[in-house]
């Protein structure tokens, strides 16, 4: 079995009957959604909230009950993917462009589990470009500002046009390099008008499920 699937199945062991469940986005979350379908078919009464339209569609096709975020009071558990995670459980997310909804959903979740293959475990963040969701209005000016701050921005494109998020915003990928100064970059981005949200998820998850050759293991975040 592939490592992403092993991680997803391991995390899915934490799903209990009657939960409100946040469903992540991406190729690892794909296996989670397939597992949730099995649980629903076996009689689990779950209310699910999706972190992207892609996930919502996948879940609906499989007959999983999907609710709008504002239709639920709270979320018991969210299981989502991740692009890079360091030993302090700081992470980069948003490779799939869903970072804003993923951060909102994680923020109101009682418990957050991230699922991944072992390649996502890194000593320091930054090889993976940091996705930042920005509004389209005046985006060229914002890109120039980011350039002048040394953030090495690249507007994400899809078929030659700016990639559009589910919220009809753009994504800029910042090529910061390994081991960038997290508080400094966060402060710079927090200060820029036009930035909607960043893919920096600092100490957000309660545990991670990591898939290796032949198995998966849970690592608890004791600092949260």
Question: Cα–Cα distance between 182 and 190 in angstroms, integer?
Answer: 12
83 binds ligand 5RP (CB under 6 A): yes
Alpha helices in 3-138 (DSSP H): 3-12, 27-41, 53-61, 99-107
State whether residue 158 is helix, strand or coil.
Answer: strand
Confirm or reject binding of residue 211 to ligand 5RP (CB under 6 A). no
CB closer to ligand 5RP out of 76 and 117 = 117
Q: Does 118 qualify as catalytic in the annotation? A: no
Structure tokens at 7: 């991680």
Of 8-16, 20-28, 39-47, 170-178, the window that binds ligand 5RP (rule: CB under 6 A) is 20-28
Q: Which two tokens stand for residue 191?
A: 């200060």
Q: Which two tokens stand for residue 1?
A: 């079995």
The answer to whether 82 contacts ligand 5RP (rule: CB under 6 A) is yes
Q: What residues contact 100, with CB distance under 8 A and at least 6 apart?
A: 133, 165, 166, 167, 169, 196, 197
Nearer to ligand 5RP, 96 or 126 (CB): 96
Sole binder of ligand 5RP in the list 26, 129, 153, 194 (CB under 6 A): 26
Residue from 85, 98, 142, 200 touching ligand 5RP (CB under 6 A): that is 98
* Nearest approach, Cβ of residue 174 and ligand 5RP (Å): 15
Q: How far is 25 from 28, CA to CA, in rounded Å?
A: 8
Choosing from 84, 102, 133, 197, the catalytic residue is 102
Task: Indicate which residues carry an active-site annotation.
Answer: 102
Binding site for ligand 5RP (CB under 6 A): 24-28, 80-83, 93-99, 102
């Amino acid at each position: 079995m592939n490592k992403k699937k092993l991680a997803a199945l391991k995390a899915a062991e934490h799903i209990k009957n009657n939960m409100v469940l946040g469903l992540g986005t991406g190729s690892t979350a794909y296996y989670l959604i397939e597992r949730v379908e099995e649980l629903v078919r076996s009689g689990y009464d779950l209310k699910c909230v999706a972190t992207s339209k892609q996930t919502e569609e996948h879940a609906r096709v499989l007959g999983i009950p999907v609710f709008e975020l504002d239709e639920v009071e709270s979320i018991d558990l969210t299981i989502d993917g991740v692009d890079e995670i360091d030993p302090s459980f700081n992470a980069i997310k948003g490779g799939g462009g869903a970072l804003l909804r993923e951060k909102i959903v994680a923020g109101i979740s009682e418990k957050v589990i991230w699922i991944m293959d072992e390649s996502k475990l890194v000593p320091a963040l930054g090889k993976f470009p940091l996705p930042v969701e920005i509004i389209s209005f005046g985006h060229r000016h914002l890109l120039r500002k980011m350039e002048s701050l040394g953030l090495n921005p690249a507007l994400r494109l899809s078929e030659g046009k700016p990639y559009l998020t589910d919220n009809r915003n753009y994504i800029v990928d910042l090529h910061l390099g390994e081991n960038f100064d997290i508080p400094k970059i966060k402060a710079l981005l927090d200060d820029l008008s036009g930035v909607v949200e960043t893919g920096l998820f600092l100490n957000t998850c309660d545990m991670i499920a990591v898939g290796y050759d032949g198995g998966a293991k849970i690592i608890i975040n004791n600092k949260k």
